[in-house]
């Protein structure tokens, strides 16, 4: 007999496979439910069920709960709080990243992509870069018929920026790795700007990618989710949604299973809702739609995957850098933004950095002795290729083939970034290839630009997946209308980066939140129709 859950229970169990749920036993806020609270097959009712609690889902939840709707958020990942985020990097990766961060878009080369799987979604593990959609991108979307001009989007951006406290970094929190990046850019005479980030006095623990242990990063976990809870929302963590239920073309709720840390699936959860919002990210939203039997008149669900392929370079300096003390990505080099390239300095703990080197044994040990003198610099490329998310046996699998033009752009960018790092004083630079290549001078960097690098040789990674349920005014070419409503369905809205018609060339979090805010406003304005 299914049960309707109202209050958290007290059951506790030891987690398996090392993915210890560190919040076990800790007090959770009212409205947060986890696997420990679900003791049997369960049926829940609400006005709006939101699948996913990241940038899109959490924002939608806060907006709709504040407007008085009964909102229930379902999240596959677990619920952690700021105090749970420790310096144990591997444990954080196991707990906060989908599949331990080892998710791959198939192609030559493959692209390693990473997604957060926790309450707060990828905002818990991102760098917190908060940039409005560039005007040139919005203009492009306007030309495609969408009412998304900079002026039209202004109130949504403002609203988001206030909520997540988008602000420049405090100067004293900026670490030496970022200072060196800026120094190099200044010497080259290149445009470098202080990053805007969703942080309230970030103090430079440099643990953004593993859960901010100071609470300074205003991820959805500490901003929109508490706001949604404050206005009466509910969050069910540890629940994997298997499908959206429907009656004909009308979405009626979701069905899912409790997910345990070792991957086992437990009790069934059924949520009955007047409106369903899919906000699982650009990889899993299209897969969920497909396995729920929804079809788009355009046939474009899962198509149009953009990834902003990133590459990283490791530079070794003579002087100590101690990059792990100081804010993550305090600056961005924007000199080549109009060519689709943005540079930044990142920092990784020794274990993750060691993974990136092909060296091993004594050679790895000798190289890692320079850890304190290393600067890790990354480059984002606005891609022209698009890939696809396919649903294979119900599971999402991304396919993406780097375009030759994008590979050429990456090569040029890598050369330029190397020049910058040498200008800042780097002595050696390791390049982003399987068979490692080392540069030892600015001349090497310039010569590198002319080398023939096979496309498949690049080592690519990304955290920016976009566009797989793109919005548009033409139902034969897009998946949703400009408010995220899926064409040819009823009561089904998308609110995540799947909506982007094109890549945006900057970090996508604020765009996702702004579009989600706009979609929420549309739901509120049309509540009589959508939520009757």
Partner 1 sequence: MTEASRRVLRSLVPVICPPEGVPLADAIIEHMELQIGVLPALMRKGIDAGLVAYDVGAMPRYLRRAHKLKGDAAERYFAFWEHGLEPQVQLARALNQLMSLACYEQPSMKAALGFFPEPWIEEVRKKRLTVYADDVRRQDEQILAPDPLRPVRKKEVA
Here's the x/- map for partner 1, 414-453, by CB under 8 A: it reads as --------------------x-------------------
Instruction: Please give the structure tokens belonging to residue 136.
Output: 């040139």
Could you tell me the smallest distance in angstroms from the CB atom of residue 257 to partner 1?
16
Check binding of 248 to partner 1 (CB under 8 A).
Answer: no
| Number of Cβ within a 10 Å radius of residue 244 | 26
Contacting range for partner 1; rule: CB under 8 A; set: 7-15, 30-38, 91-99, 422-430: 91-99
Q: What is the largest CA-CA distance in the chain?
A: 73
Buried b (16+ CB within 10 A) or exposed e, 4-33: ebeebeeeeeebeeebbbbbbeeebeebbb
| Contacts of 468 by beta carbon, 8 Å cutoff, 6+ apart | 282, 283, 285, 286, 301, 302, 303, 304, 305, 388, 389, 498
Angle at 245 between CA 519 and CA 290, to 5 degrees: 75
Q: How many residues bind partner 1 (CB under 8 A)?
A: 70
Check binding of 318 to partner 1 (CB under 8 A).
Answer: no
Check binding of 18 to partner 1 (CB under 8 A).
Answer: yes
Check residue 517 and report its DSSP letter: H
Q: By C-beta, is 136 or 434 nearer to partner 1?
A: 434
Could you tell me the smallest distance in angstroms from the CB atom of residue 200 to partner 1?
4
Check binding of 399 to partner 1 (CB under 8 A).
Answer: no
Q: By C-beta, is 336 or 430 nearer to partner 1?
A: 430
Could you tell me the smallest distance in angstroms from the CB atom of residue 99 to partner 1?
5
Contacting range for partner 1; rule: CB under 8 A; set: 52-60, 89-97, 181-189, 278-286: 89-97
| Rounded Cα–Cα distance for residues 460 and 110 (Å) | 7
Give the CB-side neighbour count of residue 238, counting CA atoms within 13 A: 28
Pick one of 11, 26, 102, 408: the residue that binds partner 1 (CB under 8 A).
102
Give the CB-side neighbour count of residue 152, counting CA atoms within 13 A: 12
Check binding of 325 to partner 1 (CB under 8 A).
Answer: yes
Buried b (16+ CB within 10 A) or exposed e, 355-369: ebeeeeeeeeeebbe
Chain centroid to Cα 313, Å, comes to 21
Could you tell me the smallest distance in angstroms from the CB atom of residue 109 to partner 1?
12
Check binding of 357 to partner 1 (CB under 8 A).
Answer: yes
Evaluate whether 241 touches 77 at the Cβ level (below 8 Å): no
Check binding of 394 to partner 1 (CB under 8 A).
Answer: no
* E-state strands within 260-328: 265-278, 310-316
Q: Are strands 192-194 and 331-333 parallel, antiparallel or unpaired?
A: antiparallel
Check binding of 17 to partner 1 (CB under 8 A).
Answer: yes
Question: Tokens 């050679």 correspond to what residue?
Answer: 363
Q: By C-beta, is 192 or 465 nearer to partner 1?
A: 465
Instruction: Please give the structure tokens belonging to residue 27.
Output: 């007090």
Instruction: Please give the structure tokens belonging to residue 378.
Output: 């990354």
Check binding of 350 to partner 1 (CB under 8 A).
Answer: yes
| Rounded Cα–Cα distance for residues 396 and 405 (Å) | 27
Check binding of 151 to partner 1 (CB under 8 A).
Answer: no
Check binding of 163 to partner 1 (CB under 8 A).
Answer: yes
Could you tell me the smallest distance in angstroms from the CB atom of residue 348 to partner 1?
10
Check binding of 15 to partner 1 (CB under 8 A).
Answer: no
| Number of Cβ within a 10 Å radius of residue 438 | 11
Could you tell me the smallest distance in angstroms from the CB atom of residue 66 to partner 1?
5
Render 250-271 in DSSP notation, one character per residue.
EEEEEEEEEE-TTS-EEEEEEE
Check binding of 19 to partner 1 (CB under 8 A).
Answer: yes
Question: Tokens 């579009």 correspond to what residue?
Answer: 515
Here's the x/- map for partner 1, 204-243, by CB under 8 A: it reads as xx-x-----xxxx-x---xx--xx--x-------------
Residues 260-279 that bind partner 1 (CB under 8 A): 262-263
Q: By C-beta, is 104 or 142 nearer to partner 1?
A: 104
The stretches of 29-149 forming alpha helices (DSSP H) are 55-66, 89-96, 135-143
Q: Are strands 460-462 and 111-113 parallel, antiparallel or unpaired?
A: parallel
Contacting range for partner 1; rule: CB under 8 A; set: 37-45, 369-377, 440-448, 472-480: 369-377
Check binding of 349 to partner 1 (CB under 8 A).
Answer: yes
Check binding of 324 to partner 1 (CB under 8 A).
Answer: yes
- Positions in the binding site for partner 1 (CB under 8 A): 17-19, 47, 63, 66-69, 86-90, 93-94, 99-100, 102-103, 159, 162-163, 165, 200-201, 203-205, 207, 213-216, 218, 222-223, 226-227, 230, 262-263, 322, 324-325, 349-355, 357-358, 360-362, 364-366, 368-369, 371-372, 434, 524-525, 527-528, 531
């Amino acid at each position: 007999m299914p049960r309707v859950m109202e209050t958290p229970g007290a059951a506790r169990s030891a987690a398996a496979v090392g993915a210890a749920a560190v919040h076990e036993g800790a007090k959770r806020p009212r409205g947060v439910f986890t696997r420990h609270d679900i003791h049997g097959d369960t049926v829940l009712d609400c006005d709006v069920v939101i699948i996913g609690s990241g940038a899109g889902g959490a924002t939608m939840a806060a907006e709709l709960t504040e407007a008085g709707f009964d909102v229930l958020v379902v999240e596959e990942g677990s619920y952690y709080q700021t105090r749970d985020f420790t310096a144990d990097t591997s444990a954080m990766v196991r707990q906060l990243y989908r599949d331990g961060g080892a998710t791959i878009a198939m192609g030559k080369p493959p692209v390693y992509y990473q997604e957060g799987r926790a309450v707060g979604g990828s905002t818990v593990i991102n760098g917190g870069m908060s940039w409005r959609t560039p005007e040139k991108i919005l203009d492009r979307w306007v030309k495609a018929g969408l009412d998304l001009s900079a002026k039209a989007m202004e109130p949504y951006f403002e609203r988001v920026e206030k909520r997540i406290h988008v602000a420049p970094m405090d100067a004293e929190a900026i670490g030496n790795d970022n200072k060196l990046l800026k120094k190099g850019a200044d010497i080259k005479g290149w445009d470098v700007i202080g990053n805007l980030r969703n942080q309230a006095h970030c103090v430079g623990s440099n643990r953004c990618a593993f859960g901010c242990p100071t609470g300074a990063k205003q991820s959805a976990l500490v901003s929109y989710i508490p706001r949604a809870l404050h206005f009466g929302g509910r969050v069910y963590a540890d629940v994997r949604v298997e499908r959206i239920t429907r009656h004909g073309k009308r979405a009626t709720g979701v069905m899912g299973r409790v997910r345990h840390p070792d991957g086992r699936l437990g009790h069934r959860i059924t949520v009955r809702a007047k409106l369903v919002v899919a906000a699982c990210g650009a990889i899993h939203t299209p897969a969920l739609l497909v396995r729920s039997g929804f079809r788009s008149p355009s046939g474009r669900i899962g198509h149009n995957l953009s990834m902003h392929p990133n590459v990283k370079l490791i530079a070794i300096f003579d002087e100590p850098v101690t990059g792990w003390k100081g804010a993550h990505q305090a600056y961005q080099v924007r000199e080549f933004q109009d060519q689709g390239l943005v540079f930044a300095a990142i920092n990784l703990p020794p274990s993750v950095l060691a993974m990136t080197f092909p060296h091993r044994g004594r050679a790895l040990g000798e190289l890692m002795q320079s850890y304190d003198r290393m600067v890790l610099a990354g480059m984002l490329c606005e891609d022209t290729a698009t890939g696809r998310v396919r649903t294979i046996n119900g599971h999402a699998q991304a396919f993406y083939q780097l375009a030759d033009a994008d590979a050429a752009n990456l090569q040029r960018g890598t050369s330029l970034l190397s020049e910058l790092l040498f200008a800042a004083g780097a002595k050696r630079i390791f390049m982003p290839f399987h068979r490692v290549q080392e540069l030892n001078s600015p001349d090497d960097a310039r010569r590198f630009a002319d080398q023939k690098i096979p496309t498949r040789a690049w080592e690519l990674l990304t955290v920016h997946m976009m566009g797989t349920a793109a919005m548009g005014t033409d139902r034969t070419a897009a998946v949703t209308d400009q408010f995220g409503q899926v064409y040819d369905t009823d009561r089904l809205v998308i609110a995540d980066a799947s909506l982007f018609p094109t890549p945006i060339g900057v970090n996508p979090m604020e765009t996702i939140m702004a579009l989600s805010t706009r979609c929420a406003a549309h739901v509120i304005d049309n509540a009589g129709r959508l939520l009757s």
